[in-house]
Amino acid sequence: MRFFHPVLAASLAVALVACTFGQALAATGLPLPRYVSLRASEVNVRTGPGVRYPVDWVFRRHGLPVEIVAEFDTWRKIRDAEGTEGWVHQSLLSGKRAILVTGGLRTLHRKPSKDSKTVAKAETNVVGRLIACPKQSEWCRVNVGAYEGWLKRSDFWGVYPNETVE
């Protein structure tokens, strides 16, 4: 005789569907991994999910993009652009999308084309806001300081290769 539990079967079905599409679903129902940003200008990153775990390091950069790779209760395991991981409380994270310019001096363009006018130049490690990434486009619309324009996805960290952001 086999044991069948409808709730467990439904959970397994959701997990299998999520894995089929390349992303797992977290306990919150949101996809893992996913990008968010730091809500505070000082964020303690711990070795485990709780205040009983020691602080491993401290982020001191409001709005920095990070990737949530795991969840446990009200704690989120995050990864930064360098691949370093640790745990932070969910209250220190924001769903607002951000970018981190990588790879040298980058050009913001007026339109999603390398031949369009230059709006501004952004240096490596500049943090900006992600506005939109059209479907099947190598360009994303971003805001860096007082400037808004288009950057190639390969010029920054904070968006997945085929992700659409509206």
Q: What is the pTM of this model?
A: 0.82
Kindly report, residue by residue over 128-166, the tens digit of the pLDDT: 999 999 999 999 999 999 999 999 999 999 999 999 999
CATH for 99-157 (2.60.40.1840, 1.20.970.10, 2.30.30.40, 3.40.50.280)? 2.30.30.40
Mark residue 51 as left, alpha or beta (left: phi above 0; alpha: psi -120 to 50; beta: remaining): alpha
pLDDT class for 23, splitting at 50, 70, 90?
low
Same fold, 31-96 and 99-157: yes
164 DSSP assignment: -
Hey, what are 98's tokens? Answer: 């951000």
CATH for 31-96 (1.20.120.50, 2.30.30.40, 3.30.1330.10, 3.30.70.20)? 2.30.30.40
User: What's the gap between Cα 70 and its chain centre?
Assistant: 12
Kindly report, residue by residue over 29-72, the tens digit of the pLDDT: 899 999 999 999 999 999 999 999 999 999 999 999 999 999 99
Share of the chain above pLDDT 90, in %: 83
